[in-house]
Amino acid sequence: MTTGVLSDTALKAMIERGEIGAGLPITDAQIQPASLDLRLGSTAYRVRASFLAGRGRAVTDRLEEFEMHRMDLSAGAVLEKGCVYLVPLMESLALPLGITAVANAKSSTGRLDLLTRVISDEGVEFDRIPEGYHGPLFAEICPRSFSVLVRPGMRLNQIRFRAGQAVLSDAELRALHAEEPLVSGEAVIDHGLGFSVDLRPGENGLVGYRAKPHTGVIDLDRLAHYPASEFWEEIRTTEGRIILDPGAFYILVSQEAVTIPPDCAAEMAPYLAMVGEFRVHYAGFFDPGFGHGAAGGEGSRGVLEVRCHEAPFVLEHGQVVGRLVYERMAAEPERLYGAGIASNYQGQGLKLSKHFRAG
């Protein structure tokens, strides 16, 4: 088998072979260029704390230890801010040897500050599924900034499959950048492609948004519905810097526009824990074709989901805050991000999730 991230064509073959199963048929809308969207099942369990199954243990066995109560999602149910929930997913896996999987939050999930991770039986890591795994999948969901209304079939997570490892070395990344620019401006390559935060004052000094602490519920099925001003505070600066407040959640944007070539996929990763008291990268998959052929030919900028930790921290324009780790695809996908599929964030700048409208 060719080494690399599996494309949409390979995902369809896995579904046909029963290596990816589901209680309800998997739809074409779930299949992305290099990943599969996972759907919530019909029950949510409120649990006392986040947990992993651990070696030799099933998630349902551990659930008996931590369950507080359960909710039927069929008619819609609210997952409350600050609480932890476990939701069985519709999809299950029967992975062959040599194929591993990694999950991540979808872009809109990350931009709503929904901490959403996949766990599996005998799992010792979040979002990591080993080769040969046969069993169910579960989503752990912890709304951090907003309470949300969910229903069965909603897609908060996505899963990517790999044959072996095909991460590009720094030398390979430099060669690829020389062949086709991966980033506007100078490429900072060090265990991936570095990117920095854009805090140049835009229109009226706007550089980002901070989640308001007390808001209403967000129905995840309602798109372009909620006035942004009811949920977000605009962040402005005239100095090219902002001070992050401990515990606050921010939407910012990268200074660089990035491109993911059709034969590559990428994942956002932390830069260095030592550079500051904050975390960037709640939703980290970049599909083949992201920024490729975007208006102006310079790619698309990455939206940064930022949470400050224990101490206030000064974030300055141009500061490197994360990196993109590129991987080779095992084969190019049939469809690219932004070409022939509904891609909400192609050619994006500073942008909230698709649930909000101006106002």
What does the pLDDT look like over 143-175, one tens digit per residue?
Answer: 999 999 999 999 999 999 999 988 999 999 999
The first and second tokens of residue 8, run together, are 């949409």
The verdict on 73 and 204 lying in the same domain is no
Q: 104, 139, 163 — which closes off a domain?
A: 163
Q: 147, 163, 179 — which closes off a domain?
A: 163
Q: How many domains does the chain have?
A: 2
Pairwise CA distance, residues 220 & 262, whole Å: 30
Average pLDDT over residues 57-78: 96
C-alpha angle with apex 270: 251 to 256, nearest 5 degrees? 60
The verdict on 215 and 339 lying in the same domain is yes
Mean pLDDT of the chain: 89
Pairwise CA distance, residues 3 & 7, whole Å: 12
The verdict on 148 and 179 lying in the same domain is no
- Predicted local confidence at residue 294, as pLDDT: 52
- Predicted local confidence at residue 296, as pLDDT: 46
Mean pLDDT is lowest, of 8-22, 73-87, 276-290, 310-324, for 276-290
- Intra-chain end-to-end CA distance of the chain, in Å: 51
The first and second tokens of residue 233, run together, are 């505070």
Average pLDDT over residues 128-150: 97
Question: What DSSP designation does 274 have?
Answer: G
pLDDT grade for 345, boundaries at 50, 70 and 90:
very low
- Predicted local confidence at residue 199, as pLDDT: 94
CA distances from 42 to 68, 90, 150, 342 (A): 17, 9, 10, 26
Length of the chain in residues, anyone? Answer: 359
The verdict on 208 and 295 lying in the same domain is yes
CA distances from 182 to 172, 196, 197, 291 (A): 12, 14, 17, 9
**Sole residue written with tokens 């590009």:** 168
- Predicted local confidence at residue 271, as pLDDT: 59
Structural domain including 36 reads: 4-163
The verdict on 144 and 290 lying in the same domain is no
* pTM, rounded to two decimals: 0.92
189 beta partners = 193
- Predicted local confidence at residue 180, as pLDDT: 86
* pLDDT above 80: residue 276: no
The verdict on 202 and 341 lying in the same domain is yes
The verdict on 262 and 341 lying in the same domain is yes
pLDDT grade for 274, boundaries at 50, 70 and 90:
very low
Instruction: Report the candidate in 275, 260, 289, 285 with the shortest Cα–Cα distance to residue 322.
Output: 275
Instruction: Calculate what percentage of the chain has a pLDDT beyond 90.
Output: 69
Average pLDDT over residues 66-94: 97
Average pLDDT over residues 206-235: 95
- Predicted local confidence at residue 209, as pLDDT: 95
Mean pLDDT is lowest, of 95-109, 224-238, 288-302, 325-339, for 288-302
* pLDDT above 70: residue 231: yes
Pairwise CA distance, residues 169 & 189, whole Å: 10
Residue 263 belongs to a domain with what CATH number? 2.70.40.10
- Predicted local confidence at residue 4, as pLDDT: 96
Average pLDDT over residues 76-90: 97
pLDDT grade for 347, boundaries at 50, 70 and 90:
very low
Mean pLDDT is lowest, of 28-32, 124-128, 251-255, 308-312, for 308-312
Residues with Cβ within 8 Å of 229's Cβ and at least 6 positions away in sequence, in order, are: 359
- Predicted local confidence at residue 295, as pLDDT: 46
pLDDT single digits (tens) 285-343: 899 988 876 544 567 888 888 888 888 989 999 988 888 999 999 999 998 876 554 45
